[in-house]
Structure 1
Amino acid sequence: MTDYETALRNTLTFFPSNARTVGCWFHHNQAVWKNMKRKGYLNLTNSNECTMKALIMLLALPLLLSADIQRAFDLVRIFAINHNVPMVDLFDYYQNFWLRRVGVDALSVNRLPRRTNNCVESFHNGLRMKFKVIYLNLWIFLDHLSHLNHNTHITLTQLSNNLRPTRKQTTNVIKNLKSIRDSTQDYSLGLITMWEFLSRIAHVTSAYDNQQRN
């Protein structure tokens, strides 16, 4: 899983491997949001409910199977047209960059045990928190590093065995994970339509939007 950095992705795809190269869902959302702001649509998304709905549905596309992403994108674009959402440039950007250049196979995080690579950034933050003093005794440093390495090893072992890590998760995170899991299952069983799936997941991605706006 990568951050969509071109050099890194090209390196991984250059060497023959049975591994699948997948992008980070969080960094996808971050890039789409930044592009939306750069194109001057921020005030529109803050004031127009349909514009915001179209945006957060775009952010939900990677949660679908790769075979469904293009059709779902077309649904969202038709919704935007029918509701006079003037974000043509954003939809063109998404089509040209994410669907054509990155590709739906790298974009889809459907049913993956981890949808982001934020665990790496979390590890770095943990290091900063542990070693926040300027002058640190060598033995204290090694003790902190040993504990952090031990905890990380436990987490990696749990993930490799398809177990949920024992670290604490907030109520909202647990709720969102359940919503994604249940919606994905209902959609795969044909209990809900593609549009209903996007509408459900929109409540999950809206939390990211609220964080960015605040």
Structure 2
Amino acid sequence: MRHIKRRYRRLTNYDLSSQNIVSDFETGMITAAETEFPQARMCGCFFHFCRSIWRRLQKEGLRNAFNRRLALRRCVRKIMAIAYLSLAVVRQNFQLFRQDATTQRLCHNCPGLRELLTYFQRNYLNGQFSPVIWNVYQRNMDNRTNNHVESFNKRWNAVVGRRHPNLWYFLKKLKTEERRGALSVAAVRRGDRPPVRKRKYRLLQERIDRLTNSYRNGQRTLNQYWDAMVYTVAQFN
């Protein structure tokens, strides 16, 4: 990453800096970013946060039960939705949720759920990925996920169109992408209107804003807000 910063400065005469860095949950990436950009806030991607829990669910053999049992789906999505709670109340409410009678009954009927809860507590509460990294309570949609990076990867693969292109073909496509990037930078510098966000994500952000404001204004209790966010999480998985 230090090499990238130097190359960027050499090519553009600008220092590469950022207030927020959104990444998936790779320890090496997070450590490198924190070292090279100490002023930036490190943010875990919410989509990858949910996928990590989903992968663990599958490892514990809960996939079929998840598809069959509504109560288990709500329970797992509530674990994911804890990222929308205020950072100050995350740990306490996870413990209350884990000790809740409904959760305990599900753990009895679906033994893998107990292991999933232990995994979450070990890795995302007390482990290397603390709540300050994955909590999205005060983040907007743009800083909640790194989907724009994933979209670029998908589009780039489509542009190249080959699994193992030769060097000259690859360079040709790279130059095309460079021109596209230059046009985008020029548009920003001219003050052109940014691309319109997809309707799906606009509506999702509006829903999150309404729920968050109703919680902050005292129109919803914390548990009502948390339960409502379960339906929002369903949009991500």
TM over 0.5: yes
Aligned to 1:104: 131
Deviation per residue, 1:174-205 (Å, 9 max, x gap): 22221111112222222211111111111111
Rounded to whole Å, the distance in 2 between the matches of 1:14 and 1:178 is 35
The answer to which of 134-143 and 43-52 deviates more is: 134-143
**Inter-CA distance 138–53: structure 2 relative to 1 (3 Å threshold):** closer
The answer to which of 24-33 and 39-48 deviates more is: 39-48
Structure 2: runs of 5+ lacking an equivalent? 1-21, 108-112
Aligned to 1:212: none
Deviation per residue, 1:14-62 (Å, 9 max, x gap): 4682322121111100000000110011122122211111111111111
Rounded to whole Å, the distance in 2 between the matches of 1:139 and 1:12 is 31
What's the RMSD between the two structures over aligned residues? 3.1
Residues 54 and 80 in structure 1, CA contact (< 8 A), matched pair in contact too: no
Aligned to 2:206: 178
Check if 1:198 corresponds to 2:226: yes
1:91 maps to which of 102, 117, 138: 117
Aligned to 2:58: 37
**Inter-CA distance 185–94: structure 2 relative to 1 (3 Å threshold):** same
State which structure, 1 or 2, has the greater radius of gyration over its C-alpha atoms: 2
Aligned to 2:15: none
2:43 maps to which of 10, 19, 22: 22
Q: 1:107, CA displacement in angstroms?
A: 1.8
Q: 1:142, CA displacement in angstroms?
A: 3.3
**1:112 partner letter:** R
**1:110 partner letter:** Y
Residues 75 and 103 in structure 2, CA contact (< 8 A), matched pair in contact too: no
Rounded to whole Å, the distance in 1 between the matches of 2:28 and 2:51 is 19
1:207 is paired with a residue whose SS is: coil
Normalized against structure 2, the TM-score is what?
0.73
**1:30 partner letter:** R
Q: Number of aligned pairs? A: 203
Residues 97 and 103 in structure 2, CA contact (< 8 A), matched pair in contact too: no
Percentage identity across aligned positions? Answer: 20
Normalized against structure 1, the TM-score is what?
0.80
Structure 1: runs of 5+ lacking an equivalent? 159-163, 210-214
Rounded to whole Å, the distance in 1 between the matches of 2:231 and 2:179 is 39
Rounded to whole Å, the distance in 2 between the matches of 1:110 and 1:103 is 14
**Inter-CA distance 131–155: structure 2 relative to 1 (3 Å threshold):** farther
